[in-house]
Structure formats: structure tokens, C-alpha cells
Amino acid sequence: MTNAAGFPLFASKPHFLDGDLQLQQSVEGLSPSTENHNTYVDFEPLTGVSMRVAKRLQLNTFVSNWGLPVFKDTALKDEIKLAGGMDDLVALFDCLEIESNWSGVEDAYVPYAWVDENYAYSDDDAEDIYSSVYGTKDFAKSAAIYGGAAAGTLLMCAAWSFFYRNKVRREYSDGFRPLTGD
């Protein structure tokens, strides 16, 4: 990414998750956790719909033995406060007034931003997908069971009818005649 950005730019998982331990130890305050910093996609197995997605990426720059400038122009900061409505700019000046000590840091990859793009179906949407996919599947399974039972019943009725008819024919052929009521 360095060629595209024009300065040393590198991508990693947030908090250098799954990275070299030396990367994590070179910056204070990192605490990588799989739950909060990993990328994943959860698919519904029958339809292939992505139910939960999280893409997490951290951007890092490479620093080598340098310090940050210290901003101490309190007059400008006071004028901005008087103007009002620029609290974010005042907070930026407050941040720039904090002295930083980069001494002892020879080479480090310093995170400066990370992105968390995620999506998850709501419980209602997930229930709708579940009922439409699995409800149809359950209906088909039930229809197969009941259809099989009905076909079995019809087959038994046909077999009974066939055997009964053959029995009556044999009795006719033996000379037996049923009473007709005349």
C-alpha cells in the first residue's frame, strides 16, 4: 500500500491480532481479541445468504526514531474558544499540546486508524429467512410423510379389494350363490 499512498502504509488485523508478538509490544495499549478484531462471514447453509459479516482492518505506518511536534500556541487556542462552536478543534489543540516521547523507538509499525464494517441480520429478519426456508422444507417433509401414508392406505385398499374380488369369484365358481334378497 506504500506505493499507492506515497508514504509507508501497511495493513493488518486490528491490534495486530494474529501478528508477531513484537508488533503488539512495540505500541502501548493494544489488547487484541479474536471476538472484537477478527474478520468473519457466517453463511446460512441452504441458501448461501451471509447472515453475519465483519471486515476489520487496521492501517499502520512505519516510524523510525522520530518525534512529534509539540504545539504550544495558547493565544490561537484561546481565540478559537472565544469564537465558540469549535470544540473539536480545541480538542485537537489539547491533543497536540501533549508531549510525546518516541526516544528508544527505533523501528515500529504504529497504528493510526482501523475500520470495522459489519452487518448482521436482525432477529426478525433471521426468523423470516428461517421460516421461509425451513418452513418450506418442513412442509415438504410433512407432505412426503402424509403422502406416503395416503399411498400406503390406498395400496392396502386396492389389495383388499383385489383379494376380496378373487374370493367372491372362487365362491361363484364353486357353485355358491349369494342371496340376492328376491
Structural domains in the chain (count): 2
The answer to whether residues 85 and 4 belong to one domain is: no
Please report the pLDDT score of residue 59 as a whole number. 93
Please report the pLDDT score of residue 67 as a whole number. 59
The answer to whether residues 50 and 83 belong to one domain is: no
Kindly report, residue by residue over 76-107, the tens digit of the pLDDT: 777 777 777 777 777 777 777 776 655 556 77
Please report the pLDDT score of residue 153 as a whole number. 92
The answer to whether residues 3 and 60 belong to one domain is: yes
The answer to whether residues 16 and 91 belong to one domain is: no
CA distance 20 to 27: 12
Among candidates 150, 120, 142, which has minimal Cα distance to 49?
A: 120
The answer to whether residues 28 and 95 belong to one domain is: no
Please report the pLDDT score of residue 45 as a whole number. 85
What is each CA distance from 90 to 2, 79, 80, 112, 166, in whole angstroms? 32, 10, 7, 20, 103
Q: From the first residue on, what is the mean pLDDT of each consecutive set of 10 residues in the chain (182 residues)? A: 83 93 85 93 87 93 69 71 75 71 68 90 84 74 86 91 79 64 56
Look-up of cell digits 527505533: 106
pTM above 0.85, yes or no: no
Q: For residue 95, is it within any domain?
A: yes
Kindly report, residue by residue over 134-155, the tens digit of the pLDDT: 777 767 788 888 888 999 999 9
Q: For residue 26, is it within any domain?
A: yes
Q: For residue 59, is it within any domain?
A: yes
Please report the pLDDT score of residue 58 as a whole number. 94
Burial track 66-88 (b if 16+ CB lie within 10 A, e otherwise): eeeeeeeeeeebeebeeeeeeee
The answer to whether residues 40 and 108 belong to one domain is: yes
Consecutive H or E run containing 146: helix 123-173
Domain containing 74: what range?
69-101
Please report the pLDDT score of residue 180 as a whole number. 64
Percent residues over pLDDT 70 in the chain:
81
